[in-house]
Amino acid sequence: MRYDLFITGFGGQGVLLAGNLLSYAAIIEGKNVSFLPAYGVEKRGGAAMCTVVIADGEVGSPVIGRPSTCVYLNQTSLDRYGAKVKDGGVAIINSSLVDDSGWSRDDLDVIRIPMNRIAMDLGDARMVNMVAAGAYAAKSGSVALESLEQALKSVLPERNHRFIPANMQAIRAGAGAVQG
Amino acid sequence: MSQRLFVKGNEAVAMAAIEAGCRYYFGYPITPQSDIPEYLSRELPKLNGEFIQAESEVGAINMLLGASATGVRAMTSSSSPGISLKQEGISYMAGSELPGVIVNISRSGPGLGGIDASQADYWQSVKGGGHGGYHIIVLAPASVQEMYDLTMLAFDLADIYRTPVMVLADSVVGQMKEALVPNPRPETTLPEKDWVVRGRKEGTEQKIVKSLFLGDGELEAHNWKLHGKYDVMREKECRQELFMTEDAQLIVTAFGSVARIAKTAILTAREAGMKVGLLRPITLFPFPTQAYRDVTGQCKKILDIELNNGQMVEDVRLSVARDAEVHFYGRPPGAGSLPVPEELFEQIKKYY
């Protein structure tokens, strides 16, 4: 199988950590992965994005023109990269911050999840990226939630391991929002 | 097999250097390669190594020259404008036959340019970027694993041929994270370093490391000797990847990051029933001339793709069979200029 994903939001939303986490989970599952962060003049509040490719075989291009799934964490991302999703692909939208009513892509499977609200209900708005990661994992079936839990141990520095249970709650809530 | 790690290309370079026995690093920060000095500044002191942030790139390359003259494994890294500053030192190292590894995570130019992925340093790297008509070995990794493996190889080749060796990549390969198997240093038999200068016991032969030869005929002989080594490299050290070339009616050729993008475009073409293959040079000097001659015995169409206005394509034209046609597609570097597989597929269709 082969999955490609583009995640975008503003700097500080944890876009790169979400991409890292999904990538690491796939590594744990023995798959091949490329994680390509947009590399420019980045700053908190500016645009942040990354491309993840997960494959059983060779990854090939880490650069994807029209990703099959895009995750939009803020309004600017959708406005700027809304056309990027492949025809017939999947868009996962953070409906807490993104209004897609003016967006016309009838070909897509659009999933709207109030990620900020879910994260806040679980105690911390900063977990919005975990909600997004859980949602993508559940929608795509690319990695198991258990692998994400294992991956958190590797991706987070030791001192932050105490946050893993809360982050897992956020990941499960994201996954639940897709299924529900 | 060692465990698979998940690391950045730049970190893989630094890890390989340590595994290869490099304990001395000299550099000056510049985007997009600063992960290399960052990693080594943290790890080398733990190994009783030496990390020096030099006052400039010129300082760093001359520290590499000095360290190498004592026989230790050492390296420097930078990005395009910084590599330009190092060219004088590289020429002196080539003239003095000093091993040493130089990593260029190149960025766009000319001048200060930008920080985006670029392959516009091809000419500078393979044609002797400094003065005096020399070559250095140039390795072009296309994945995080190759960043590791080729950096490891660079140290051995430098010692075998007593030459500077360059690892040439860009921010796609340097900043990307992929799985890495950190293989242990392979066992190789290397020539004894009987030429090093590290203080001499009385009564033993004096060793001199220099690039200045003033005696009648001395310098000419030295140049012939150097170029004799380049011929041996051409014969023994060419490396390339051939992918689906056997039945190909069009062969794409590209190196480094853009070869990865091209590979996906080639797979799309194969799905559409088009017989397309890839020839990816891994050594840029020595250039794998014979591989081009071999594939163009059967396939008469070559499409060269580069992140510049056309540099390697000149070497491709010199290498292919006489009746082969060579086409070129390039994207000069800059923000938003990195081609996507769909775009390269269009080029494949155009020339197929």
Domain B240-351 is found in CATH 3.40.50.300: no
Compute the nearest-CA separation of A34 from chain B (Å): 5
**Element spanning B346, H or E:** helix B341-351
- Tokens linked to B315: 């070497």
Choose among B295, B293, B315: nearest CA to B242.
B295
**pLDDT level of residue A47 (50, 70, 90 thresholds):** confident
* Chain A residue numbers touching B171 (CB-CB < 8 A): 39
Q: Between A and B, how many residue pairs show a Cβ–Cβ distance under 8 A?
A: 70
Is A35 part of the contact surface with chain B (CB cutoff 8 Å)?
Answer: yes
Per-window interface: A 81-110 vs B, CB < 8 A = none
Q: What is the pLDDT of residues B72-85, one digit of tens each?
A: 999 999 999 999 99
* Chain B residue numbers touching A58 (CB-CB < 8 A): 263
B100-106 vs B164-170, strand pairing mode:
parallel
**pLDDT level of residue A41 (50, 70, 90 thresholds):** low
Residues near B214 by Cβ (< 8 Å), separated by ≥ 6? none
Domain locations along chain B: 5-180, 240-351
Mean of the pLDDT values across residues A12-28? 95
Decide if A24 and B6 are in contact by the 8 Å CB cutoff. yes
| B292: three-class secondary structure by DSSP | helix
Q: What is the pLDDT of residues B277-323, one digit of tens each?
A: 999 999 999 999 999 999 999 999 999 999 999 999 999 999 999 99
* pTM of the entire predicted model: 0.96
Is A156 part of the contact surface with chain B (CB cutoff 8 Å)?
Answer: no
Domains B5-180 and B240-351 share a fold: yes
What's the pLDDT score for residue B3? 81
Q: What is the pLDDT of residues B88-143, one digit of tens each?
A: 999 999 999 999 999 999 999 999 999 999 999 999 999 999 999 999 999 999 99
Q: What is the pLDDT of residues A92-110, one digit of tens each?
A: 999 999 999 988 888 999 9
Decide if A59 and B267 are in contact by the 8 Å CB cutoff. no
- The CATH number of the structural domain formed by A2-179 is 3.40.920.10
**Summary mean pLDDT of chain B:** 96
What's the pLDDT score for residue B292? 98
Cα distances (Å, whole numbers) of residue B229 to B91, B129, B284:
16, 18, 16
Which residue is closest to B259 within chain A, CA to CA? Answer: A61
> What is the C-alpha to C-alpha distance for residues A48 and B64, in angstroms, rounded to an integer?
37
> What is the C-alpha to C-alpha distance for residues A112 and A116, in angstroms, rounded to an integer?
12
> What is the C-alpha to C-alpha distance for residues A129 and B166, in angstroms, rounded to an integer?
39
Which residue is closest to A34 within chain B, CA to CA? Answer: B178
Q: Are B12 and B5 in contact (CB under 8 A)?
A: no
Q: Are B283 and B239 in contact (CB under 8 A)?
A: yes
Decide if A58 and B263 are in contact by the 8 Å CB cutoff. yes
What's the pLDDT score for residue A36? 96
Per-window interface: A 15-34 vs B, CB < 8 A = 20, 23-24, 27, 32-34
Decide if B176 and A36 are in contact by the 8 Å CB cutoff. yes
Fold of B5-180: Rossmann fold (3.40.50)
Q: Which residues of A101-111 are buried (b: 16+ CB within 10 A; e: fewer)?
A: eebeeeebebb
ipTM of model? 0.93
